[in-house]
Amino acid sequence: MKITDKYHRPVFSLRISITNRCNVKCFYCHHDGIIPQNYEMTPEEIERIVRVAKEIGIKKIRLSGGEPLIRDDIIDIIQRISSIGFQDVSLTTNGTLLGKYAEKLVDAGLNRVNVSFDTLDPETYRFITKKDYLDQAKDGIKKASEAGLYPVKVNMVVMKNINHHEIWDMFQFCRENGAILQLIELLKTDNCPDTAFFDEYHYEMDEIEEELVELSSKIKTRQFMQDRKKYFVEGGEIEIVKPMDNTNFCKNCTRLRITPDGKIKPCLLKNDNLTDLINPIRQGYSDEELKKLFLDAIEKREPFYKEEC
Ligand code: SAM
């Protein structure tokens, strides 16, 4: 089954936030656009949701949070999802627990990971996360590559006067560890802990993009990945993720999200168009009725940034 929304955008990926808990406290964190609450779905409920999602045409599942590896039942969750049979099962993590879990995750059927990792400098790491887990995170990236999670992507939120000068060191670190570097634009969302940081730290990536165009042997545009650009430089790869005011980013969005309390969320940047799934599941709705809720949520999809006619 192939499903598109009213803007003719195919919908085939689902990002599930399985917890709001996290073991680091990044000052800029948007919590995947979710208003923090203490609620987690059970592995059985997550499995039911992804089974129905597959029936409406979802092909790719990504787990996020909060920190997904903080859940004691993470291996069970991955096993349940991967046994259903998706094109891709991935996870976004801060990497601090990856050293412990990488091999078990591979055995459970996880295909790949994105590791949020912004700096190689211990003081900057502490400033951003309020924790001293730099070495654990570095080790997690290495172990993920060694365990065969592929590709490992390192998500670096680039911030002016915090880490923008580290881009090439980070690239070197990624290349040494078989990872792709993703440079992510700092985003301001309604639920960021405080928005004052944005003006101070937002970094325009135009200059680095110009440099990458000069240095790249090849450039690819990943249409169904929000039109992201991928640059191939000296045996390594760098991707740029620039959502702010980017109509192409929204035009090529293929994603639905699920919040930790079991609501379908059509857009990272909006919280006024959610569709409850968990209560219907608990009230005994059939798969057909749950599919209808997915279709209603897809009907509510709107590009956050759209071209004015
Ligand atoms: N704990 C996991 C992790 O650290 O990757 C998953 C949750 S985290 C909210 C998911 C992604 O959102 C991370 O790659 C993080 O860097 C990114 N992120 C969080 N706040 C952001 C912001 N204000 N701007 C851009 N990216 C942000």
> Tokens standing for 117?
């990792």
| Distance in angstroms (rounded) separating the CA atoms of residues 287 and 100 | 36
Mean pLDDT, residues 76-88 taken together = 98
Place of tokens 């219907």: 280
Give residue 134's pLDDT.
98
**Ligand 1 contacts CB of residue 192 (under 6 A):** yes
Domain-embedded: residue 7:
no
13 lines ligand 1 (CB under 6 A): no
Q: Do residues 279 and 273 make contact, with C-beta atoms less than 8 angstroms apart? A: no
Return the ligand 1 atom nearest residue 114 CA: 5
Above 60 in pLDDT, residue 257? Answer: yes
The answer to whether the CB of 156 is under 6 A from ligand 1 is no
Q: Is residue 221 predicted with pLDDT exceeding 60?
A: yes
Alpha-carbon span 120 to 141, nearest angstrom: 12
Structure confidence at residue 308 (pLDDT): 65
Instruction: Give the CATH number for residue 115.
Output: 3.20.20.70
Answer yes or no: is pLDDT of 192 > 70. no
Best mutation site among 64, 74, 202, 258 for ligand 1 pocket (most ligand atoms within 8 Å of CB): 64
d(CA 59, CA 217): 31
Q: Pick the residue with more confidence: 198 or 71?
A: 71
Cβ atoms of residues 158 and 203 within 8 Å: yes
Looking at the predicted structure, is the pLDDT value of residue 256 above 90?
yes
Q: Is 257 in the pocket of ligand 1 (CB under 6 A)?
A: no
* Residue 2 domain-assigned (yes or no): no
Question: Are 63 and 73 contacting, i.e. CB atoms less than 8 angstroms apart?
Answer: no
* 17 Cβ below 6 A of ligand 1: no
**6 domain-assigned:** no
**pLDDT tens digits along 238-254:** 999 987 778 888 888 99
pLDDT digits (tens, 9 = 90+) for 109-135: 999 999 999 999 999 999 999 999 999
* Cβ burial, residue 4 (10 Å; 0-12/13-18/19+): middle
Question: Into how many domains does the chain fold?
Answer: 1
Strand partners, 152: 113, 179
Please give the pLDDT value at position 191: 64
Does residue 5 lie within any of the structural domains?
Answer: no
How far is the CA of 136 from the CAs of 33, 98, 121, 123, 186, in angstroms?
A: 26, 8, 13, 15, 24
Q: Give the end-to-end CA distance of the chain in Å, rounded to a whole number.
A: 31
Q: What is the pLDDT of residue 247?
A: 82
| Structure confidence at residue 53 (pLDDT) | 98
The parent domain of residue 83 ranges over: 13-308
CB 105 within 8 A of CB 149: yes
In a domain, 33, yes or no: yes
Q: Residue 86 domain-assigned?
A: yes
